[in-house]
Amino acid sequence: MIFVLKRWKRVFFKQFFPHFCLMNSTQYQFHPENFNLSDPNRYTEEDLKSEEMLISLGPQHPSTHGVLRLEVISDGEWVKDVIPHLGYLHRCFEKHAEALPFNQIIPYVDRLDYMASMNSEHAYVMAVEKMMDLTGKMPKRVEYIRVLVAELNRIASHFVAIGTYGLDIGAYTPFLWLMRDREHIQRLLEWLSGARMLYNYVWVGGLFYDLPIGFEEKIKEFIPVVKNTISEVIKLVEENTIFIKRTANVGVLPLDIAINYGCTGPVLRGSGLRYDLRKVDAYSIYPELDFDVPIGAGEMGQTGDCWDRNHVRIQECLESIKIVEQCLDQLMGEHKRTKDFNPQEFVPKKIRPSAMDVYVRAENPKGELGFFIRSDGKSDIPQRVKVRACSFHHLSVIPLLAKGAYLADLVAIIGSMDLVMGEVDR
């Protein structure tokens, strides 16, 4: 009887739970050639000349700003060729999104550019609201709060870019100053949403919740502090002779090349084109706000070099502060909180748009983030979701900028592009 039960249990588990049967067996056999088969190099030893070396930079090296591997061909200190290798942080976002209801996709959007989740949420939500014919119908307070948190997150994202770029070049102190102030922004956004980096705060048709009591006052107290930090960083970094020599005339990206490669954001504006989607597309309440669009002008070297790209990001932080101050004036004045205000008033219970295709884009800290969404009109799950990620375009232009540069300059070029691999390996 006992033998029959044991045999029956083995048959049952093998039929319905086959993965349990593999637990005591070897599931993976290591073979030295596995790596080359999964991510083969473009160059082999036979392709190299006597003076050339094949160097694998990353995917664990801090200078690659994420899990990016660069296959570098060098001749001494000179870079002959660079081949980016992707796929070390594959999130499978687009296929996840095609298996989830529209409103449940927002937490996955947070994980694309995880340095600027509020901005990414804003772009995705605008796309779905366009499908639901909700654009321009929500209370102004909702729109001002969205822009407020997006600009705070833009400052925090730029602080990471500027601070880590200083580390790449050899400046440690600015990184500590900027991360200190970024931490203050992170705590404010955590107070607002309950999450430190991945917020799920901007919802389709509204917001998760209204601003906490005293939130506006805390930001007003913080603004003079962050302005002072930026002015000190400008003196310590931008005007520093060593930093200028490491970044000016290095990685020059001509405007026509930037346009042809699809570069956007600070990378494109660093090459001299005043192109900002907040002005061009005039979405949300940005047309009602007064701010400038900084561009590179070759002040320390050539237009479009590494110094210009870093300079644009620093100036954009100051412009974002202007926007934050204007939003605060509205949120504490004409559109101040009332008992009747409900941030979820226009949030639909079921999101089932008509059959259509939409593409909506927004100005993220790193550049243009666009969402193409196709709905079949029958389901609350999108039929197709496609992301236009700016970091992918910026990564594609690195081989062009790096050829003929020093190996040390390659690190400076990568840092100046401000890549995030979460939206590249999507």
- Structure confidence at residue 3 (pLDDT): 45
- Structure confidence at residue 39 (pLDDT): 78
Q: What is the mean pLDDT of the chain?
A: 90
Angle between helices 140-169 and 407-417 (to 10 degrees): 170
User: Mean pLDDT across the stretch 147-155?
Assistant: 97
Distance (Å) of CA 146 to CA 227, 284, 338 = 22, 9, 17
How many residues comprise the chain? 426
Better-scored residue on pLDDT, 175 or 34? 175
Instruction: State residue 27 phi and psi, 5-degree precision.
Output: -100, -15
Q: CA nearest 230: which of 365, 320, 115?
A: 320
Distance between CA atoms of residues 86 and 90, nearest Å: 9
Q: Tell me the three state secondary structure of residue 207.
A: strand
Distance between CA atoms of residues 75 and 270, nearest Å: 30
Strands 78-85 and 202-203, sheet pairing: unpaired
pLDDT in tens, 209-253: 999 999 999 999 999 999 999 999 999 999 999 999 999 999 999
Sign of CA dihedral 315, 317, 321, 322: positive
C-alpha angle 332-334-340 in degrees, rounded to nearest 5? 85
pLDDT in tens, 170-209: 889 999 999 999 999 999 999 999 999 999 999 999 999 9
Distance between CA atoms of residues 404 and 406, nearest Å: 7
Strands, E assignment, 86-158: none
pLDDT at residue 288 above 80? yes
Distance (Å) of CA 368 to CA 85, 86, 306, 383 = 22, 20, 20, 23
Is residue 25 very low, low, confident or very high in pLDDT (cuts 50, 70, 90)? low
Give the distance from CA 191 to its chain's centroid. 22
Using left for φ > 0, alpha for ψ between -120 and 50, and beta otherwise, residue 203 falls in beta
Q: Which residue has the tokens 């320390």?
A: 300
pLDDT in tens, 38-51: 778 888 888 888 88
Distance (Å) of CA 115 to CA 65, 199, 277, 339, 358 = 12, 11, 19, 33, 26
Instruction: State residue 345 phi and psi, 5-degree precision.
Output: -60, -40
- Structure confidence at residue 5 (pLDDT): 46
Residues 398/82, Cβ–Cβ less than 8 Å: yes
Show the tokens assigned to 176.
């500590």
- Structure confidence at residue 132 (pLDDT): 94
What the chain holds in terms of domains, given with CATH numbers, is 93-424 (1.10.645.10)
Distance between CA atoms of residues 214 and 171, nearest Å: 36
- Structure confidence at residue 111 (pLDDT): 92
